[in-house]
Amino acid sequence: MNLISISELSRQDILRLLDSADAFRARRGGHGTPLQGKSLAMIFEKPSTRTRVSLEVAASELGAHPLYLSAGELQLGRGETVADTARVLSRYVAGITARVYSHGTIEQLAAHASVPVINALSDWEHPLQILADLQTVRQRFSRLENLKLAWIGDGNNVCNSLILAAAILDLEIAVASPPGYQPTARVLEQARRLGGDPNVLVEPAEAARDADVLVTDTWVSMGDEGEEAERLRVFGRYQINSDIMNLASPDSIALHCLPAHRGQEITDEVMDGPQSAVFDEAENRLHTSKAVMAWLMGQGRED
């Protein structure tokens, strides 16, 4: 089994993974090493702080040996094919995580590997991030029912995974993005097939009204630097600030997958304020990564 898309998980799967992540969080340093003697290949076409550190620490604390493999070391898709890379790595390691530019690369890895493959980010989805977000939401509200999620900003890969997770969990979600940057018809249709009903809007205030969880991401993702000036112009209104938070429910929280461009998509006042769950969210990348690895690489064992 792999984790390529959050849509591969059922509601029960997600809740089981969150329970496991909570257990790892509560027993850090005392949860055993279920992956002892195993190795994890970590393919990174794109640089990262949280993804690399959380995966590497998670693997190490579970007893596995993480192997960081940069794009320059593998030359994925250039000399050796992605398929051959997957076949070879499968002879050496017990699992593969990959942070790639194209979702097609992660799909090829999964198609040709004989060990579990975990999507650590592609241009289409970021399932590991959304599991951490969901763990954070459940910690703050003690539930994953009767909540409204609001995404403010670019309808990107993280947004895609959040839309799909909301559909699986039967959560209300409103997405506010400028025209031309809204979620694609493809992901909206996929969400509807999963039973969801995402509400796509233009006005941030409309999405934020009575929301329990406000989520955002950078306006200029890696690879979009050539569009920076235009994006800064278009997204100027799509900021999580105190005015937007005041439209949300009184107990609402703000999430950001980081890195944040303070003063653009989120203000210092919100990021460092009492409604921010951003740094809990970042920590939970570690615990949810452990849960996924233990499930896929260790037959679901926690200890």
The verdict on 110 and 192 lying in the same domain is no
Which of 25, 126, 140, 256 is catalytic? The answer is 126
Which of 25, 31, 123, 129 is catalytic? The answer is 129
CA distance 14 to 302: 15
Q: Give the sign of the dihedral formed by CA 37, CA 43, CA 47, CA 49.
A: negative
Query: Three-state DSSP class for 67?
Result: strand
The verdict on 168 and 52 lying in the same domain is no
- Active site (annotated) includes residue 99: yes
The verdict on residue 27 lying in a domain is yes
The verdict on residue 22 lying in a domain is yes
- Active site (annotated) includes residue 239: no
The verdict on 31 and 49 lying in the same domain is yes
pTM (predicted TM-score):
0.96
The verdict on 291 and 249 lying in the same domain is no
pLDDT at 72: 84
The verdict on residue 1 lying in a domain is no
The verdict on residue 11 lying in a domain is yes
Q: How confident is the model at residue 282 (pLDDT cuts 50, 70, 90)?
A: very high
- Active site (annotated) includes residue 126: yes
CA distance 72 to 159: 29
Expressed as residue numbers, the domain containing 21 is 6-125+285-297
Which of 99, 103, 138, 287 is catalytic? The answer is 99
pLDDT at 300 over 50: no
Average pLDDT, the chain: 96
The verdict on 116 and 149 lying in the same domain is no
Q: Give the sign of the dihedral formed by CA 219, CA 223, CA 228, CA 234.
A: negative
The verdict on 115 and 240 lying in the same domain is no
- In the chain, which ranges are continuous DSSP H helix? 11-26, 50-61, 71-74, 82-90, 103-112, 127-141, 157-169, 185-193, 204-208, 228-234, 242-247, 268-271, 278-297
The verdict on residue 303 lying in a domain is no
Which of 123, 135, 217, 264 is catalytic? The answer is 217
Which of 94, 57, 67, 98 has the alpha carbon at shortest distance from 284? Answer: 57
- Active site (annotated) includes residue 36: no
pLDDT at 302 over 60: no
pLDDT at 225: 84
Q: How confident is the model at residue 77 (pLDDT cuts 50, 70, 90)?
A: low
pLDDT at 244 over 70: yes
The verdict on 36 and 119 lying in the same domain is yes
pLDDT at 224: 79
Number of structural domains (the chain) is 2
Which of 135, 257, 264, 275 is catalytic? The answer is 257
The verdict on 180 and 43 lying in the same domain is no
The verdict on 151 and 86 lying in the same domain is no
Half-sphere exposure of 267 (CA within 13 A, CB side): 14
- Active site (annotated) includes residue 257: yes
- Active site (annotated) includes residue 27: no
Q: What is the CATH number of the domain that holds 209?
A: 3.40.50.1370
The verdict on 112 and 211 lying in the same domain is no
**Token pair recorded at residue 83:** 């398929």
The verdict on residue 302 lying in a domain is no
The verdict on 209 and 186 lying in the same domain is yes
pLDDT in tens, 116-138: 999 999 999 999 999 999 999 99
CA distance 201 to 249: 19
pLDDT in tens, 164-212: 999 999 999 999 999 999 999 999 999 999 999 999 999 999 999 999 9
